Amino acid sequence: MSAVHVIGAGMTQFKPHPTVEVHELARQAAWAAIESSGVRPEDIELAYAGHAYQGQCFGQKVLLKIGMTGMPVVNCENACASGASAVWGVVNAIKAGQADIGIAIGAEKLASAKGGFTPLVADDLESSMGRVMPSVFSMMARKHMDRYGTTLDQLARIAVKNRRGGVRNPYSPWRDEITVEDVLAAPMIAEPLTRLSCCPVSDGAAAVILASDRVARRYTARPVEVRAAILASGIRNGVGMADDHSEMTIRAARRAYEVAGIGPEDVDLCELHDPFTIAELVHYEDLGFCAPGEGGRGVDEGWFDIGGRVAVSPSGGLLARGHPLGATGVAQIAEMFWQLRGEAGERQVPGARVGLAHTVGGGVTQIEAGATSVHILVG
Amino acid sequence: MSAVHVIGAGMTQFKPHPTVEVHELARQAAWAAIESSGVRPEDIELAYAGHAYQGQCFGQKVLLKIGMTGMPVVNCENACASGASAVWGVVNAIKAGQADIGIAIGAEKLASAKGGFTPLVADDLESSMGRVMPSVFSMMARKHMDRYGTTLDQLARIAVKNRRGGVRNPYSPWRDEITVEDVLAAPMIAEPLTRLSCCPVSDGAAAVILASDRVARRYTARPVEVRAAILASGIRNGVGMADDHSEMTIRAARRAYEVAGIGPEDVDLCELHDPFTIAELVHYEDLGFCAPGEGGRGVDEGWFDIGGRVAVSPSGGLLARGHPLGATGVAQIAEMFWQLRGEAGERQVPGARVGLAHTVGGGVTQIEAGATSVHILVG
């Protein structure tokens, strides 16, 4: 089976874009990815577009804006894993021989008057009674603190670390670093999670160009290989569940390591699904970067900083770059592309060779079905 | 590249199901497909779910109802081609080595109070001024009549033919045949299209089980091979366009014939996208079953009847089985499975060996982007 490589990437800044429509954001990201790849638009044979709320035939409308019509386009949704599902779809389609070059686009507009994503389902009883994202994660935090002795200080340090990345990332809107004290003193959203423990509501888009082994090196001497593309579904574990970890993340990560032929100790760089500080901490453990319960200690000892065991979310992650749902999974792959080629500027992880991108989508509705993705890339 | 086969199929009746929620309709179809295939639910490794309006993580919610969690699930949307895109996605994922067995599910609930699909986009100026589906196709009909001399009688005969199929199809709600006079005398929807020239608003679901060449014959001695799976996008041609034909259908069909190594003259059976009588007539020509302008003559001479050149929509098609958007493309593949195995009962096309399934989605919004699918199956 032919390998698939990333050969180009582009994205918009993630922030509220009140005067730019979502198709235009996606067009900008797609065009930036195309330009960076050296591919001619007419050589792109296939597209997936990931989004959660942007209406019918979204990908077609975006591509039409740059004159690219005709190719197969699939619009896909998997809540916060929508963009990652788009990447996964393009990888499969290239491996299946449908195309040599494809584009994965992800986009979302959440910060507009028409947007918003809580409650996820209008008639969801639990959401309407307050079981929305921040409250679910607040309970997850309490559980982890209770079980393992994780501290508020440790959780706050995750926000500080990711903001440090965001400040160095031109695609993030943040320009000021924060301290543990800032995080703890910020307005309370869902105790113990303050506003600085939660990702912001953003608009934005990202795109990557993927190519078969057969053609990738025609466009770049340094393609970044997608060594494993794993999607899984399941029940989001959390409050009321047997465990506070993400069973589907654990399963997807194990499978990804198996397919890639590496272990978590080989990962230099991870873009991790961190909508709340507690999510990042739990996922350190789920992805095998430390043992269950060790996340807090790892934060204290700098295991997840640049220069530590594995640099987690040097981009700023969802916390400090932003989280326009459909865009996030694609932006992670774009970040991998830049990092693994040494092109990540001030946020560069020195010598990064193996990267892992992780998203989790869904889970705060009556039926707690969700999706998770793990992609392993090698530069 | 390994071949992919259909090894099971299931669907609900297409009709208003006011008291059954859409996830339950999809569960019923999925379960029927699983049972028909002989596959154990736990052997299914992957799913795509196609729908246009049914909310986040739709496929996961459906599969959770039958205890199937864990597998990769992608929810996809391509307007009326959503279900066909799900089939295409599963075929690619199997060819890419992600799975040996996958399920494609399509479902939609349109006939409920919450449903409805006109206008497609709330703020679409053209839709709000009356440029909705029936009016677009009415203008297409007028254009074809003007250019080629196609008659109202010829268009009406298509509705009569398809109702004849629907009456013989237990998945259709119709039990009475109709005459040309009935079609012409029915209430006018968008001149010259009467109510019997338009597909009904339906709820329903369909599912098919797809398997790799490696495992298909473990489950059935008579798998139905997916010889070509082609998706294309483009502009819906129609009013205001240079042609009244569907350029993307023409392109997708040509590519499908090329991949399958056959021509239109080899097709025994076609499930064609016929939301309106004129659409069926135009697509005869687009799919190469006759020359442009010859569709009317072909109707008169019975070319598209069972026993003619190619039996078109013996199931009743969208016109006389129904058109719950996401379900339609999957239902077409289910029909192929039954027909090409000689299991289609009273509507059986004798000796059918090669089948073609065709959908067209999108196109009545400000930006006229759409999708089309052509699948060629061999029994």
**pLDDT single digits (tens) B316-331:** 999 999 999 999 999 9
Asked whether the domain spanning A121-199+228-378 has the same topology as the one spanning A4-113+203-223, the reply is yes
What pLDDT sits at residue A366?
Answer: 43
Mean pLDDT for all residues in chain B: 92
State the SS3 of chain B: CCCEEEEEEEECCCECCCCCCHHHHHHHHHHHHHHHHCCCHHHCCEEEEECCCCCCCHHHHHHHCCCCCCCCEEEEEECECHHHHHHHHHHHHHHCCCCCEEEEEEEEECCCCCCCCCCCCCCCHHHHCCCCHHHHHHHHHHHHHHHHCCCHHHHHHHHHHHHHHHHCCCCCCCCCCCCHHHHHHCCEEECCEEHHHECCCCEEEEEEEEEEHHHHHHHCCCCEEEEEEEEEEEECCCCCCCCCCCHHHHHHHHHHHHHHCCCHHHCCEEECCCCEHHHHHHHHHHCCCCCCCCHHHHHHCCCCCCCCCCEECCCCHHHHCCCCHHHHHHHHHHHHHHHHCCCCHHHCCCCCCEEEEEEEEECCCCCCEEEEEEEEEEC
| B144 among known catalytic residues | no
What pLDDT sits at residue B124?
Answer: 65
Most confident segment among A52-56, A123-127, A287-291: A287-291
C-beta separation of B287 from B253 below 8 A: yes
Q: Is CATH 1.20.1200.10 what the domain over A4-113+203-223 is classified as, yes or no?
A: no
How far is A245 from chain B, CA to nearest CA, in Å?
Answer: 15
Q: Which of B21, B56, B73, B120 to mutate to test the interface with A (most CBs of A within 10 A)?
A: B56
Based on DSSP, count helices (H) and strands (E) in chain A, helices before strands.
13, 12
Largest CA distance in chain A: 56
Residues of A designated as active site: 80, 323
Chain A residues whose beta carbon lies within 8 Å of the beta carbon of residue B56: 52, 77, 79, 120-121, 362, 365
**pLDDT single digits (tens) B5-50:** 999 999 999 999 999 999 999 999 999 999 999 999 999 999 999 9
* Among candidates A70, A96, A367 on the partner chain, residue whose Cβ is nearest the Cβ of B96: A96
CB contact under 8 A, B89 and A89: yes
CATH topology (fold) of A121-199+228-378: Peroxisomal Thiolase; Chain A, domain 1 (3.40.47)
CB contact under 8 A, B69 and A233: yes
Chain A residues whose beta carbon lies within 8 Å of the beta carbon of residue B360: none
C-beta separation of B108 from B93 below 8 A: no
Label residue B115 by pLDDT band (50, 70, 90): very low
- For residue A287, give the H/E element and its range: none
**pLDDT single digits (tens) B55-109:** 888 999 999 888 887 899 999 999 999 999 999 999 999 999 999 999 999 999 9
**pLDDT single digits (tens) B309-364:** 999 999 999 999 999 999 999 999 999 999 999 999 999 999 999 999 999 988 65
What pLDDT sits at residue A112?
Answer: 61
Provide the residue ranges of all domains of chain B, joining segments of one domain with +. Answer: 4-113+203-223, 121-199+228-378
